[in-house]
Amino acid sequence: MTKPINTISKCNKYLRESYTVAMYVDFYKEMRVRAESPEEAAELAENRIRARQTSLYSSGYSLGDVEVLDVKETDQ
């Protein structure tokens, strides 16, 4: 059995202070893209991610660097 993760301070709530914590959070995403070349596929995938970041912003995230790790041709 795993130990539960502590997500709330054990201190009395009336004695707690507020803090803003800035952090980097990395995500991995695979996306299927139809394109003429691997270069175009990478460009289209990045453009699609950048165009659909409204939900990230509303959750408090800001999209930074997008690094393409690999582009592989797939069967439909």
Span 18-31, average pLDDT:
83
Question: Given a cut of 70, is residue 1 above it in pLDDT?
Answer: no
Q: Reply yes or no on whether the pLDDT at 76 is more than 80.
A: no
Choose between 65 and 31: higher pLDDT.
31
Nearest Cα neighbor of 34 from 45, 25, 19 is 45
Give CA–CA dist 42/30, Å, rounded: 11
Helices (H), 1-76: 38-51, 54-58
Model confidence at 4: pLDDT above 80: no
Q: How confident is the model at residue 6 (pLDDT cuts 50, 70, 90)?
A: confident
Kindly list the distances between the CA atom of residue 31 and the CA atoms of 1, 8, 68, 69, in Å, as whole numbers in the listed order: 35, 35, 11, 12
